[in-house]
Amino acid sequence: MSKRLENKNIIVTAAGQGIGRATAIAFHNEGAKVIATDINDKTLKVLNKEYPNIKVKNLDSTNKQTIEQFSASLDRVDVLFNAVGFVHHGTILDCDEKDWDFSFNANIKSMYLMTKSIIPKMIKQNKGSIINISSIVSSLRGLPNRFVYGTTKAAIIGFTKSIASDYIKNNIRCNAIAPGTVHTPSWERRVQAAKDPVQAKKDFIARQPMGRIGAPEEVASLAVYLASDESDFVTGIVHPIDGGMSI
Ligand code: NAD
């Protein structure tokens, strides 16, 4: 039986850990040829050791020059999975200009640079799927202390819909995934950095009506669907995966 992503060439960003890593593995398990990119050589090495058929590449998704060099080395790209993101904690008053610029650079400019560099290949192929990781904290919901994070994640939704609408005739689909809280290393770090980590964990879980947080593999399953031809009629949509947070 053929696999769901057989023969697809896929680029995954932020693939060293968390959602990006789980998604790179899920794509690989469904038969795709995956290039996993990240700025962390250590985690990429671990991934490549466990999955020697997943190619790894140190790539800063905010660096235009290296992205263009990388893109020039690629032939066909069927799927681009944009997952780079950083969570700034605080309100507008806690957000200096440098925090604002850092978050916009990491969370949305990275997607602009990666997509702009890869999309000409998809236009030539007359086919492609772009998947952007937004968040429930965006234009879907506001939550305390996620001022600049939520602002950038809302921008990703506008970005996704614009790309979807501009390239629909080129058979290029663009969708966003909006996770609730997911168990990843950066989430663990946020919990441990809280004044009372035990209470912080309880508070995170309490936000999720299902009474648990998500697993990166659950987000990866949704990404497999959006990457595959099974979702050929789906574009410009934000897909929440959040344990009921957005009901
Ligand atoms: P994470 O924060 O644990 O890891 C992020 C990865 O991105 C790291 O491997 C890091 O090295 C890499 N990275 C950082 N800057 C980079 C850059 N400039 N270029 C390339 N790689 C870079 O991952 P996560 O928690 O799985 O989050 C992944 C995405 O999902 C983010 O966009 C995040 O905002 C989003 N998200 C996460 C959650 C959650 O609860 N974990 C919820 C909603 C949305």
- 60 is written with which tokens? 């800063």
Give catalytic status of residue 149 as yes or no: yes
User: What are the phi and psi torsion angles at 235 (to 5°)?
Assistant: -150, 150
| Length of the chain as a residue count | 247
Tell me the pairing of strands 79-82 and 238-241.
Answer: unpaired
Q: For 177-215, what is each residue's pLDDT tens digit?
A: 999 999 999 999 999 999 999 999 999 999 999 999 999
pLDDT of 94 reads 98
Set 51, 149, 167, 225: catalytic member: 149
Helix (H, G, I), strand (E, B) or coil at 50: helix
Which residue stretches of the chain are H helix? 18-29, 41-50, 64-72, 97-104, 110-125, 147-166, 185-193, 197-206, 216-227
* Ligand 1 lined by 133 (C-beta under 6 Å): yes
How confident is the model at residue 16, as a pLDDT? 98
CATH for 9-183+215-241, options being 3.40.50.720, 3.30.1490.20, 1.50.10.10, 3.30.10.20: 3.40.50.720
pLDDT at 237: 98
Summarize pLDDT for 71-122 with one digit per residue, the tens.
999 999 999 999 999 999 999 999 999 999 999 999 999 999 999 999 999 9
115 lines ligand 1 (CB under 6 A): no
Supply the pLDDT for residue 2: 86
Cα(150)–Cα(139) distance, integer angstroms: 7
C-beta 113 within 6 A of ligand 1? no
Mean pLDDT computed over every residue of the chain:
97
| Portion of the chain with pLDDT greater than 90, in percent | 99
Q: Evaluate: CB of 13 within 6 angstroms of ligand 1.
A: yes
Q: In ligand 1, which atom is closest to the CA atom of 17?
A: 9
Q: What is the predicted pLDDT for the residue at 1?
A: 75
Rounded to an integer, the average pLDDT of 164-185 is 98
